[in-house]
């Protein structure tokens, strides 16, 4: 069992029957009041973030979450298909909503990390930066751009990203999968 003072960033515990991870934790002591821990926690099953304050009387059940490497194969009918790293015969599907918006940047043979609770996949951690090829890029229009303009390009995965005007089809760019933004040319 965990005490309220054990809630630190990265701790995973069971709350109301669901696995939660602590994102932020602050110990607060106000005058003539009992000390509390103010936290921001994320539901690992749904991704929802909650703000909660805990007191000394609160206790939590810590859960074991296993991190496993997996290889992305393809997306089909709102499901992302993976296989375990090192064993292509052990395939499994994860709903695209669990992977979240980074799923649009996944390409075949990309290594990811899955958080497993028992045999259930809670989340899929996609690499933060990925190098992708630009498939379609409108020509950059010169003029009217004192600060440097942007254009929307289509990547090899089908995702669209805003890039500077000098990016052309066939070039490789680095994209931040968490924000969905162009980082730099590869």
Task: Write down the pLDDT at residue 124.
Answer: 87
Percent of the chain at pLDDT > 70 equals 95
DSSP strand E in 35-86: where? 36-43, 49-54, 59-62, 66-76, 79-84
**Residues sharing a CB contact under 8 Å with residue 163, sequence separation 6 or more, in sequence order:** 134, 137, 150, 151, 152, 153, 173, 182
Each residue's pLDDT tens digit, 124-154: 888 999 999 999 988 866 655 556 678 899 9
Q: Domain range holding 180? A: 129-185
Say if residue 6 is in the same domain as residue 55.
Answer: yes
Domain end among 79, 105, 125: 125
* pTM for the model: 0.72
Task: Write down the pLDDT at residue 146.
Answer: 56
Domain end among 125, 140, 164: 125
The average pLDDT across 38-57 equals 85
Each residue's pLDDT tens digit, 73-117: 999 888 999 998 888 898 999 888 888 888 899 999 999 999 888
């Amino acid at each position: 069992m965990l005490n309220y003072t054990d809630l630190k960033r990265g701790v995973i515990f069971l709350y109301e029957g669901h696995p939660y991870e602590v994102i932020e934790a602050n110990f607060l002591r106000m005058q003539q009041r009992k000390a509390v821990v103010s936290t921001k926690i994320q539901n690992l099953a749904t991704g929802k973030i909650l703000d909660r304050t805990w007191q000394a009387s609160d206790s939590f059940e810590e859960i074991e979450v296993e991190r496993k490497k997996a290889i992305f194969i393809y997306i089909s009918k709102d499901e992302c298909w993976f296989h375990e790293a090192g064993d292509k015969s052990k395939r499994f599907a994860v709903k695209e909503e669990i992977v979240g918006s980074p799923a649009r940047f996944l390409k075949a043979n990309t290594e990811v990390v899955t958080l497993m609770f028992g045999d259930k996949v809670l989340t899929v951690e996609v690499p933060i930066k990925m190098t992708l090829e630009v498939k379609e890029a409108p020509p950059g229009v010169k003029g009217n751009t004192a600060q440097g303009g942007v254009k929307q390009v289509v990547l090899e995965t089908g995702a669209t990203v805003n890039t500077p005007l000098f990016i052309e089809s066939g070039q490789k760019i680095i994209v931040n999968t968490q924000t969905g933004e162009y980082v730099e040319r590869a």
